[in-house]
């Protein structure tokens, strides 16, 4: 659905009015275009203490061809940055597209002023739709309470920067486990690029790889040769996921209910994919999916996108509406995962990506059934990750906020407007924003990402 306010706020007259009244001012967000570089501007690099990711960062910046500048004050690590080939010049206050701070070397809260100096100096220099990335060590793996304390403190910094910088700029914290330094490329490519347009204020954990990490021969087609099942693919977010997977080189199996067959076949035809009309809530759905996958030589990626809402306050909710939502949104996914994994129909090294919701994090009036199902998806992801890791399979979830689809177009006007504006981007996301996040998890280069739940919500105030 079109966001008329966004267009108005960016018109000559609208901009004046919006400024005068102090209303939210959403900017059109930059989104990925085929053939465009990962980042279209210089990156300002900083570090605190004894930064531990310089070599890994230098390799990524070389791989994406980014221009990198060193923060003036950081004289103590500039020789090391130069030795690693990390920075190509000193920053003299020019505008930059991204700020990247390696905070892995911070071991005590008294060092927090290193964060202050870098972000204080650079905050006004970030271009529209710029990026802020802070890299740290997972607090739960730190050697001392003091180190864990300052590492945990990074979360307050990045979440606040996401709220403060505005202008379509997002900010994320990436915890990199020891031994996973060489696993950061797929995540940095995603976060630095416009693919992460509507992701902000997130904490991402990169661990030791599950199975083998394969840097794609062509980063524009990371899913070449892969077979991807997308459920609920006939429209909305599911259709966008199928499209992005096909763009990234995958053969896509598009699934939806038989009633949606016409739309489903159209999506599949456009993408040279296959259409599979199946109600995933049906008792025999897992077995039918195993048979379809085996006939296909196995699948590499499963995207559990299909979902429904049946909203009523708990006192007014009929029990079949509760059952239906929990079954389609959660229990079927558990059954399907179990069947596909046990049969080997999801290949070793496979990926499972689930679609949760910020309702599953924050709860929502009239959505007890939906919130149970979507919080359950998070539970499923986090509890299955270590078990699936033994088979080289990763499992992650995205939790969308307000995304412009038929589902949200049906929301009453006032609630819809609140949903659109109550986030750091002051607008709803597009289905492609969810799809790009799923594509990052699905990549063969993302084997060090498992058990993550990343919100695609423009840093919504709900559940923040």
Binding site for ligand NAD (CB under 6 A): 231-232, 234-238, 256-257, 260, 279-281, 305-308, 328, 355, 357, 400, 402-403, 405-408
User: How many alpha carbons lie under 13 Å from residue 433 in its C-beta half-sphere?
Assistant: 26
Helix (H) or strand (E) holding 46: strand 43-49
| SS3 assignment for 120-134 | HHHHHHEEEEEEEEE
Tell me whether residue 188 or residue 303 sits nearer to ligand NAD (CB atom): 303
Q: How far is the CB of 175 from ligand NAD (least distance, A)?
A: 25
Task: Give residue number: closest CB to ligand NAD.
Answer: 307
Is residue 370 flagged as an active site residue? yes
Which of 53, 46, 351, 352 minimizes the C-alpha distance to 177? 53
Residue 372 in tokens: 């149970």
Measure Cα distances from 265 to 196, 223, 248 in Å.
29, 22, 20
345: Cβ contacts below 8 Å, ≥ 6 apart:
289, 290, 293, 294, 298, 299, 339
Tell me whether residue 112 or residue 327 sits nearer to ligand NAD (CB atom): 327
Q: How far is the CB of 247 from ligand NAD (least distance, A)?
A: 18
Q: Which residue out of 5, 175, 198, 370 is catalytically annotated?
A: 370
Tell me whether residue 147 or residue 356 sits nearer to ligand NAD (CB atom): 356
Q: How far is the CB of 121 from ligand NAD (least distance, A)?
A: 37
Tell me whether residue 87 or residue 423 sits nearer to ligand NAD (CB atom): 423
Measure Cα distances from 236 to 102, 190, 403, 426 in Å.
38, 22, 9, 21
State the Cα–Cα distance between residues 358 and 374, nearest whole angstrom.
Answer: 8
User: Residue 460 gets which letter from DSSP?
Assistant: B
Q: How far is the CB of 406 from ligand NAD (least distance, A)?
A: 5
Tell me whether residue 207 or residue 232 sits nearer to ligand NAD (CB atom): 232
User: ∠ at Cα 56 (55, 57), nearest 5°?
Assistant: 90
Residue 215 in tokens: 């840097």
Q: How far is the CB of 206 from ligand NAD (least distance, A)?
A: 25
Q: How far is the CB of 194 from ligand NAD (least distance, A)?
A: 20
Q: How far is the CB of 329 from ligand NAD (least distance, A)?
A: 6
243: Cβ contacts below 8 Å, ≥ 6 apart:
267, 270, 271, 432, 435
Residue 392 in tokens: 């080289």
Tell me whether residue 211 or residue 458 sits nearer to ligand NAD (CB atom): 458
Tell me whether residue 81 or residue 397 sits nearer to ligand NAD (CB atom): 397
| Cβ burial 56-86 (10 Å sphere, 16+ → b, else e) | bbbbbbeebebebbbbbebeebbeebeebeb
Residues recognised as catalytic: 370
């Amino acid at each position: 659905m079109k966001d008329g306010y966004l267009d108005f706020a960016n018109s000559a007259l609208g901009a004046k009015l919006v400024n005068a009244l102090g209303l939210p001012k959403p900017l059109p967000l930059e989104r990925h275009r085929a053939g465009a570089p990962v980042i279209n501007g210089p990156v300002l690099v900083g570090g605190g203490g004894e930064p531990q990711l310089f070599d890994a960062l230098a390799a990524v910046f070389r791989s994406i061809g980014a221009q990198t500048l060193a923060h003036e004050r950081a004289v103590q690590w500039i020789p090391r940055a130069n030795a690693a080939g990390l920075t190509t010049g000193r920053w003299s206050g020019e505008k930059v597209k991204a700020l990247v701070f390696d905070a892995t070397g911070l071991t005590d809260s008294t060092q927090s002023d290193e964060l202050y100096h870098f972000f204080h100096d650079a905050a006004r220099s970030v271009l529209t739709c710029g990026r802020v990335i802070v890299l740290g060590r997972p607090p739960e793996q730190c050697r001392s309470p003091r180190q864990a304390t300052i590492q945990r403190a990074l979360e307050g910094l990045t979440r606040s920067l996401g709220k403060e910088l505005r202008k379509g700029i997002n900010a994320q914290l990436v915890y990199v486990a020891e031994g996973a330094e060489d696993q950061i490329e797929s995540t940095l490519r995603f976060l630095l690029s416009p693919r992460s347009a509507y992701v902000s204020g997130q904490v991402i954990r990169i661990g030791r790889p599950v199975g083998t990490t394969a840097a794609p021969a062509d980063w524009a087609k990371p899913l070449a040769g892969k077979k991807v099942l997308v459920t609920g693919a006939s429209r909305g977010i599911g259709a966008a996921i199928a499209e992005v997977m096909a763009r990234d080189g995958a053969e896509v199996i598009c699934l939806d209910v038989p009633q949606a067959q016409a739309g489903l076949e159209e999506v599949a035809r456009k993408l040279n994919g296959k259409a599979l009309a199946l109600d995933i809530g049906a008792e025999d759905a897992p077995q039918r999916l195993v048979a379809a996958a085996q006939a296909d030589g196995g699948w590499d990626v499963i995207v559990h996108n299909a979902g429904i809402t049946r909203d009523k306050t708990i006192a007014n909710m009929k029990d079949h509406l509760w059952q239906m939502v929990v079954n389609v949104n959660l229990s079927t996914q558990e059954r399907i995962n179990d069947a596909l994994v046990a049969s080997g129909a999801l290949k070793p090294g496979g990926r499972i990506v689930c679609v949760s919701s910020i309702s599953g994090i924050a709860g929502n009036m009239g959505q007890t059934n939906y919130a149970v199902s979507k919080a359950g998806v998070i539970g499923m992801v986090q509890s299955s990750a270590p078990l699936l890791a033994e088979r080289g399979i990763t499992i992650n979830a995205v939790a969308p906020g307000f995304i412009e689809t038929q589902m949200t177009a049906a929301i009453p006007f006032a609630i819809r407007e609140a949903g659109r504006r109550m986030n750091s981007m002051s607008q709803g996301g597009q289905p492609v924003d969810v799809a790009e996040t799923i594509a990052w998890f699905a990549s063969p280069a993302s084997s060090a990402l498992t058990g993550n739940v990343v919100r695609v919500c423009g840093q919504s105030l709900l559940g923040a």
